[in-house]
Amino acid sequence: MSGVTNKDIVAGLRDILASRGIISDHSDWSERLILFYATKARSAILKAKLDDKRSKVSHFNKQTLSCVPLKTLDINECPCAPPSGCTFVRSEFPIPMPISRYLEIDTILGNRDIDYVEWGDFRNKLRSRMALDREGPYWTIRNLGDGHYLYLYNFSQKFATVTSIFEDTIEVFLYPDCSGEVKNKCAQYLDFPFVIDDGYVSFVLEAAYRMLALKTPNTDELINQNDDTAAAKIPIK
């Protein structure tokens, strides 16, 4: 991970925009807007690296959710339907979205090799004639409206450690611990590290600049410099 913070990235992009005549005053663009496009550029660059089988992505781009609480649910989640007797586990809280389905899952028993399947293919796997297909284990992500939840089939642990290259790095820093508490909830989001390998910082700045250069600030995007609340919202249950 590089030593730069979100604040450094925002300042760097403002300097680039100003030096190239896109903005004449550093207050023309909100910190949130600039960081949004920097994060978008980071995701695009790292996704391209992950999708290129010839490339190896450094661990400096990864983050870890050290304790993801899991709860057991019937595979038929409809409360009006009778239980099927077949269960899986789901994260208690929504998790940040991983880039390109890349996820490492660890338990107290060590790392497990778990295959990804699309949510819609879950039931097809369970109906397969092949025992290996039926038994899994598998993981998938489902959007329940209030966020994306991690689902694991043939996984009996109550907690998991999840490592990935996530789309929104701030959501990781604000993820609840095993007790449901958010330890960084009072932190300034601009002070969080911008999680990226040092070698990619210049590429992120250039890519974000190209995105911002195509935009014209409007009243919804003008800065509120006093807004130092976190950019991500994590439901706390």
pLDDT digits over 118-151, tens only?
888 876 777 778 877 777 788 989 999 999 999 9
Count the Cβ atoms, other than its own, within 10 Å of residue 52: 10
Q: Where are the domains of the chain?
A: 6-59+191-213, 63-164
Burial class (CB in 10 A: 0-12, 13-18, 19+), 142: middle
Convert the pLDDT of each residue in 25-79 to its tens digit: 555 678 999 999 999 999 999 999 999 888 888 999 999 999 999 999 887 766 5
Phi, psi of 10 (to 5 degrees): -60, -45
User: How many residues are recorded in the chain?
Assistant: 237
Indicate the average pLDDT of the chain. Answer: 82
68-90 pLDDT, tens digit per residue, is 999 998 877 665 555 666 778 99
CB-hemisphere CA count at 13 Å for 127?
A: 5
